[in-house]
Amino acid sequence: MLPQFGASSSSSTSQSWTHDVFLSFRGYDTRNGFTGHLHRNLVHRGIKTFIDGGLKRGEEISSALLRAIEESKVSIVVFSKNYASSQWCLDELVKIVQCKESKQQIVYPVFYKIDPSDVRNQKGSFYEAFAEHESRFENDAERVTRWKTALTKVANLSGQHLSDEGYVPNYAVYCIYLFS
In terms of Cα–Cα distance, which of 113, 129, 126, 108 is closest to 179? 108
92 is catalytic: yes
Catalytic residue, chosen from 59, 70, 92, 101, is 92
Rounded Cα–Cα distance for residues 50 and 70 (Å): 11
* β-strand partners of 111: 79, 161
Residue pair 62/11 in contact (Cβ under 8 Å)? The answer is no
Residue pair 130/121 in contact (Cβ under 8 Å)? The answer is no
Residues annotated as part of the active site: 92
